C-alpha cells in the first residue's frame, strides 16, 4: 500500500478531491493531511472525511525530525495541494522524486516565489495571455522548477477576469490532479 501525506495551507478543495479519489483505491490511500496554518479549512475537510490531520510550525517543518516522522508513519509519497512554503532539503532527500506539486499556470510562466493563487491569474489576465492551465510537477529545491508530469490547458478569452480564469484552472485541477498522482505513484513503484 502506498501512503500519501497531503500538505496544504488553505481551503483544501484539491486535498478533498484527492482524498475522495483514493477512498476505495486498492493500492493508494491518503493517510494524513498536514497544514501549516491552524485555521486552514483543509483540517475540517480532513476531519469530515475521517483522515488524520495535524498542524505544524515552520520550526517543525525545517527540522529533519519532520521527515523522520513521516517515514516512521509509513508515508511513501507527499502531495503539495495549495501548500505555500518552500520544501526543505531534508524532505526532498527523504522522499526523492516522491513529492509532487500542482501550480495554477503553465510553467515556467508565472512561477516562482510569491506566484500562487489569484496573483497568478491576475498576472495571466494582465499579460493578455490567450492560454493558461496547470502544471503538475515533481518538487526540487527551487519553487516550481521540478520535472513536469503533466500540463493541461484552458483558453483565456477577451473579457475574462482573474476569477473567471481561476474557475477554469480549478476545473483542470480537479480533473487532472488525482489521476496524475495515481499514475505517478503506480509508475514510480517505490
Active site residues: 103
CA distance linking residue 161 with residue 90, whole number of Å = 40
CA distance linking residue 1 with residue 13, whole number of Å = 24
Cross-sheet strand order for the sheet of 131-138 = 53-55, 28-35, 2-8, 77-80, 99-103, 131-138, 148-155
Are 133 and 172 in contact, with CB atoms under 8 Å apart? yes
CA distance linking residue 182 with residue 23, whole number of Å = 12
DSSP string, 55-88: E--HHHHHSHHHHHHHHHTT--EEEESS--SPPP
What the block records as the C-alpha cell of 14 is 484539491
Which candidate, 18, 19, 24, 46, places its Cα nearest to that of 34? 46
Peptide bond into 70 cis (omega under 30): no
Amino acid at each position: 500500500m502506498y501512503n500519501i501525506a497531503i500538505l496544504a495551507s488553505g481551503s483544501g478543495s484539491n486535498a478533498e478531491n484527492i482524498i475522495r479519489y483514493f477512498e476505495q483505491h486498492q493500492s493508494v490511500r491518503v493517510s494524513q493531511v498536514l497544514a501549516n496554518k491552524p485555521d486552514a479549512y483543509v483540517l475540517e475537510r480532513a476531519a469530515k472525511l475521517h483522515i488524520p490531520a495535524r498542524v505544524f510550525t515552520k520550526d517543525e517543518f525545517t527540522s529533519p525530525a519532520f521527515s523522520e516522522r513521516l517515514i516512521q508513519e509509513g508515508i511513501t509519497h507527499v502531495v503539495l495541494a495549495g501548500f505555500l512554503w518552500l520544501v526543505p532539503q531534508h524532505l526532498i532527500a527523504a522522499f526523492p522524486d516522491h513529492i509532487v506539486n500542482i501550480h495554477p499556470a503553465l510553467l515556467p510562466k508565472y512561477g516562482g516565489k510569491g506566484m500562487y493563487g489569484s496573483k497568478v491569474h491576475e498576472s495571466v489576465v494582465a499579460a493578455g495571455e490567450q492560454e493558461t492551465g496547470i502544471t503538475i510537477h515533481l518538487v526540487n529545491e527551487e519553487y516550481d522548477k521540478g520535472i513536469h508530469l503533466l500540463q493541461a490547458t484552458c483558453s483565456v478569452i477577451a473579457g475574462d477576469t482573474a476569477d473567471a480564469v481561476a474557475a477554469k484552472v480549478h476545473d483542470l485541477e480537479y480533473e487532472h490532479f488525482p489521476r496524475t498522482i495515481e499514475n505517478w505513484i503506480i509508475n514510480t513503484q517505490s
